[in-house]
Amino acid sequence: MNKSWLILAIVSVISGCASMGGGQESRWSYIGDTGPAHWGTLNDKYALCSDGKSQSPVNIAGAHGMGLTAIEFSYATAQNLEIVNNGHTIQVNYPAGSYVVLTGKRFDLLQFHFHSPSENKIEGEHADLVAHLVHKAADGQLGVIAVLFVVGAEENAILSPVWAAMPLTKGSSNLAQAFDINALLPEDKGYYNFSGSLTTPPCSENVNWNVLSTRGEVSQAQINAFTQIFPNSIRPVQPLNGRMIGAF
């Protein structure tokens, strides 16, 4: 073996070890050898995907009152939103200034993205689509508002411009028209609450989950447009391990 080939071989081995050892991010997916059943072994950083005791999504059943209060929404209309196909979902990045207050604590809106069907179940049933609105508090805790949708007779007019602009392959685009995220929310904002995790690697825990109980509607064509890009986009439900689910 000549010197140049020896150098290439050493670099290859080092790169392979780094990708498995937690020194950098590892590829993951929703199917096969890099799917949810294997996430915890792909990278040391992803250990909670296998070992965590407060993982998401969950099946929501047997909810209790638990002293919850109404979610306070303070969302502003945004211009020129960035829409990203990140290889796993469509993510819409939201500008600073919009937030929610969850039981007295402020969480600032960062982005929202989609899964089809919904990741969390309610009484064993998926919704056809979910929007996860991801927020972050000043102390670093994440808070998610999940907005569920079922197939109806007509398309969802609020989502239509996002669907029209979403990239079909990895990359980004911009939504030229103004977008009012408040219009994405149902009028009745009752919700289920539980402590969980990210539903993708690294599956970090202590995420404040809030699943709105009233469902919006989307068309079958809108579902089809999303699933043609992302035929697999959900993690299976995880054990509750004694966690309580609240209802408001």
Region 43-54: mean pLDDT is 98
57 neighbors 200 (Cβ within 8 angstroms): no
pLDDT digits (tens, 9 = 90+) for 194-205: 999 999 999 999
Kindly state whether residue 187 falls inside one of the protein's structural domains: yes
Q: Residue 200 — φ and ψ, nearest 5°?
A: -130, 160
> What pLDDT, on the 0 to 100 scale, is given for residue 245?
98
Kindly state whether residue 1 falls inside one of the protein's structural domains: no
pLDDT digits (tens, 9 = 90+) for 103-114: 999 999 999 999
Kindly state whether residue 183 falls inside one of the protein's structural domains: yes
Kindly state whether residue 87 falls inside one of the protein's structural domains: yes
What proportion of the chain, given as a percentage, has pLDDT over 90? Answer: 88
Indicate the average pLDDT of the chain.
Answer: 91
Residue 51 three-state SS: helix
pLDDT digits (tens, 9 = 90+) for 87-131: 999 999 999 999 999 999 999 999 999 999 999 999 999 999 999
Closest among 212, 215, 216 to 154, alpha carbons compared:
216
CATH value at residue 172: 3.10.200.10
38, 88, 126, 132: the active-site residue: 88
Kindly state whether residue 206 falls inside one of the protein's structural domains: yes
Question: What is the number of domains present in the chain?
Answer: 1
Distance CA 60, CA 207 (A): 16
Residue 21 three-state SS: helix
Region 155-161: mean pLDDT is 97
Kindly state whether residue 162 falls inside one of the protein's structural domains: yes
In the annotation, is 88 catalytic? yes
Q: Which of 15-19, 39-43, 117-121 has the lowest mean pLDDT?
A: 15-19
Kindly state whether residue 13 falls inside one of the protein's structural domains: no
> What pLDDT, on the 0 to 100 scale, is given for residue 25?
65
Residue 238: domain span: 52-247
Task: Spell 223-234 as b/e; 16+ CB within 10 A means b.
Answer: bebbeebbeebb
Residue showing tokens 């929501």? 60
| Residue 14 clears pLDDT 90, i.e. is over it | no
| Residue 13 clears pLDDT 50, i.e. is over it | no
Region 125-148: mean pLDDT is 98
Region 124-151: mean pLDDT is 98
Kindly state whether residue 127 falls inside one of the protein's structural domains: yes
* Contacts of 107 by beta carbon, 8 Å cutoff, 6+ apart: 99, 100, 101, 135, 136, 137, 141, 142, 143, 208
| Residue 75 clears pLDDT 80, i.e. is over it | yes
Question: What confidence tier does 18 reach under pLDDT thresholds 50, 70, 90?
Answer: very low
Distance CA 45, CA 22 (A): 5
